[in-house]
Amino acid sequence: MHTEIEADMEVIMTWRNSARHPSGSGARERINLKVGSQLNFGISSSSGEFQPGATPSIGAFEVSEHHLLLSNFTSSTTFVIENLEGGTELVKARSRQLDMVIPFEISRILIPCAESMIEVTVFTPPPHLLGSDQATTVPDSALSKLDMTSKYFAVLVALCEPRLRGSSMAAVPSVQQVVERLRGVEQFRDASRSSINYHIDYLAEQKLPVSQWAKYMDEGRMHSKREALVAFSLRFDLVREEHLGLLPDLKRSRVQRH
């Protein structure tokens, strides 16, 4: 099933331009593309930053009727496309690859260059969804086994939080960090390392098939239960950005720790 981009919808791209906005690190450039549009881009010779229409072109975006496509014109540089809503999801546009479909609704394109990492954020229209009354439920799925009001699910969300907040390279929290992160929740007022470890063991051994999944990943080795739980949960959307509301306010939590 294709994710069709309707003719009156737009794809939005934003990127930082420190040359034009030297005093505002958060200032961003923006361009909107409609169906049928193509945007060649390169690297500015003066600033070393992303530049639409630069010559020579290192790549191009094209908005087709069904997809946003990315082409990589370089001879040896891989572009990485990260899903900003999926924690660790990413795909790669290898050198000389043409018309690659960008599968994410909100993505970050990363292009390594000599002096910095070029970053472009891309927003595409929401995908078409099957009606809830037409959708099929997988019997006894991993998600159906999770009680989102339980303490173990809050532990799972705390483990996934750093990667859910946009960094696929973020380290998985230690058990002690989970204890500190959940202290603002009434249920975890007396939490300890041993109690958090109990929930981690319960998730890994009773609720989620991470050991079975590990057979298909890295030759069956599961280096860390915490790492395996996070990787499994994010890959299969068992923990999503909306679940972060189960955790204490992040700013208040940081203040309390200090």
pLDDT tens, position by position, 218-255: 554 556 889 889 988 888 889 988 999 999 987 655 54
Under DSSP, is residue 252 helix (H, G, I), strand (E, B) or coil? helix
Q: Would the pLDDT of 77 be above 90?
A: yes
Output the pLDDT for position 95.
95
Strand ranges, E, within the chain: 10-16, 28-34, 38-43, 50-52, 59-63, 68-72, 79-83, 90-93, 100-101, 106-112, 117-123
Separation of CA 81 from chain center: 10
C-alpha 181/C-alpha 206 separation (Å) is 24
The angle subtended at Cα 90 by Cα 6 and Cα 84, nearest 5°, is 65
Its pTM surpasses 0.75: no
C-alpha 203/C-alpha 101 separation (Å) is 35
What torsion do the CA atoms of 247, 252, 253, 258 make, to the nearest 10 degrees?
180
pLDDT band at 192 (very low <50, low <70, confident <90, very high): very high
Output the pLDDT for position 157.
97
C-alpha 64/C-alpha 251 separation (Å) is 42
